[in-house]
Amino acid sequence: MTEAVNLWVLSGIAVMIAGFALRFNPLLVVAAAAGATGLAAGLDPVAIVSAFGKAFNDTRYVSVVWIVLPVIALLERHGLQERARVLIEDMKGATFARLLTGYLLLRQITAALGLTSIAGHAQTVRPLVAPMAEAAADPQDEATREEVKALAAATDNVGLFFGEDVFIAIGSILLMKGFMAQQGIELAPFELSVWAIPTALFAFAIHAFRLWRFQRRRLTR
């Protein structure tokens, strides 16, 4: 009986999967999943809000995202995506590959500086980057449109994943340092982060080439 009760805490994952499968607004899905997890854990609504408030006070640099998300939702409702499309349509020389390559560079540089929370799928890709990529690509069919959105999301993933390892205080660097220490190899975090730079450069070049190739093969008419 105890295991069955504890498993209800995972209900937030089911809510998130169902919400994304039904293509509901990601911001609402994430908020609903958090609420479902709190209720399943035995918290009342006031306690859930209090938990968010406590987390914000304890780690403001992380929890500030939860304050930004409702603002983004309101901006989306009042035409943020449409304005992003218009902005790209009015820019001369703004192509699909150039736009996403520029975002990839920005994402890698900020992640390398430890600023991993200033961009992301919910707060940047969906409301801004994806609509701008669609406007630049001008896809002629639904399949191509979905590929454009997928590449916009993948660009954020690549930039974050290969950029954050350059930052010496990121979890992955500290994990590798701990593993090396267990094997008797003493390395400073800075030494590991330096060797992440070539990987980040190769990741940038490879993904930029993928974007250029997609534009040439699927978008050039």
Provide the pLDDT for residue 139: 81
Tell me if residue 103 falls in helix, strand or coil.
Answer: helix
Terminal CA-CA length for the chain:
62
- Give the predicted TM-score (pTM) of the model: 0.62
Determine the longest span between alpha carbons in the chain, in angstroms: 64
Tell me the two tokens of residue 23. 């293509």
The Cβ-side half-sphere exposure at 217, using a 13 Å CA radius, reads 9
Provide the pLDDT for residue 3: 46
Alpha-carbon distances of 131 from 6, 57, 85, 175, rounded to whole Å:
40, 34, 6, 37
Distance between CA atoms of residues 84 and 129, nearest Å: 8
pLDDT in tens, the chain (221 residues): 444 445 667 788 888 888 888 888 777 887 788 888 888 878 888 888 787 677 666 655 444 555 555 655 665 565 666 666 666 666 667 788 998 999 999 999 998 888 888 888 877 888 788 888 888 888 888 889 899 999 999 999 999 999 988 886 677 777 777 878 888 888 887 887 888 899 999 999 999 999 999 999 888 65
Angle between helices 142-164 and 130-137 (to 10 degrees): 130
Tell me the two tokens of residue 42. 């035995």
Secondary structure letter of residue 31 according to DSSP: H
